[in-house]
Amino acid sequence: MFEVQIDTITNEKSGIYCQTHNHWIPLDPANRHYQEVLDAIILEGADCFDGDIPTDLQTAADEKQFNQQLADYRVAVARLAQYIVADGRNQVTESQPTGEQVWNEETEEMEDVMHDVITVTAIDPVEPTVTRMVYSEDDPMAEPTEETIENPLITTDVAERAEAQAVVDATPQPVKDAA
């Protein structure tokens, strides 16, 4: 639980007192405990404060939350932009100027010499399943049996994509607009 400290000489906020840890926290954004106060305001709201949360602290907490959500959103979008491991990736070729130019007699203009450049290399999809040998824990002498499971690369990819999609879905629209 935090409470604002008022300097009775200047009548201005001098810091934040943390009742839980019995320490005085300065109003300095570079101080890690000040950042923890902002985190507590984001997570717990007014419950973490003895009395009302000062407006400037609430504003700082809102700004921190916005920036965190923006950073998380950008990471999630970048993750979703990666190719799906189970599908692989198609090659993408672009026609780009070589830097040379030749004279076109029909148009009577210099024209760029173009060549095809592979901008995205193709990646084959991974095998959908893999087989592994399963050994009996009860009988070490027993013959192992084969077990077919989903390719762990696909499992990981699907889980990470789902996590990234959940972040995107939970991101407020103003944050998305700022991205």
| Residues at the interface with another protein (CB under 8 A) | 5-9, 14-15, 21-26, 28, 30-34
Q: Smallest gap, in angstroms, from Cβ of residue 68 to another protein?
A: 13
Q: Smallest gap, in angstroms, from Cβ of residue 4 to another protein?
A: 11
Q: Smallest gap, in angstroms, from Cβ of residue 5 to another protein?
A: 6
What are the Cα distances from residue 122, in Å, to 24, 77, 152, 166? 58, 21, 21, 28
- 3-state SS of 115-127 is EEEEEECCECCCC
Query: Closer CB to another protein, residue 8 or residue 173?
Result: 8
Query: Closer CB to another protein, residue 20 or residue 107?
Result: 20
Nearest to 63 by CA among 176, 175, 177: 175
Query: Closer CB to another protein, residue 131 or residue 155?
Result: 155
Q: Smallest gap, in angstroms, from Cβ of residue 159 to another protein?
A: 13
**Token pair of 25 as six digits:** 């926290």
Query: Closer CB to another protein, residue 5 or residue 58?
Result: 5
Read off φ and ψ for residue 123, nearest 5 degrees: -130, 125
What are the Cα distances from residue 102, in Å, to 109, 117, 128? 8, 19, 50
Query: Closer CB to another protein, residue 32 or residue 139?
Result: 32
Q: Smallest gap, in angstroms, from Cβ of residue 2 to another protein?
A: 12
- The rounded distance, in Å, linking the Cα atoms of 159 and 170 is 17
Alpha helices in the chain (DSSP H): 32-44, 55-81, 152-170, 173-178
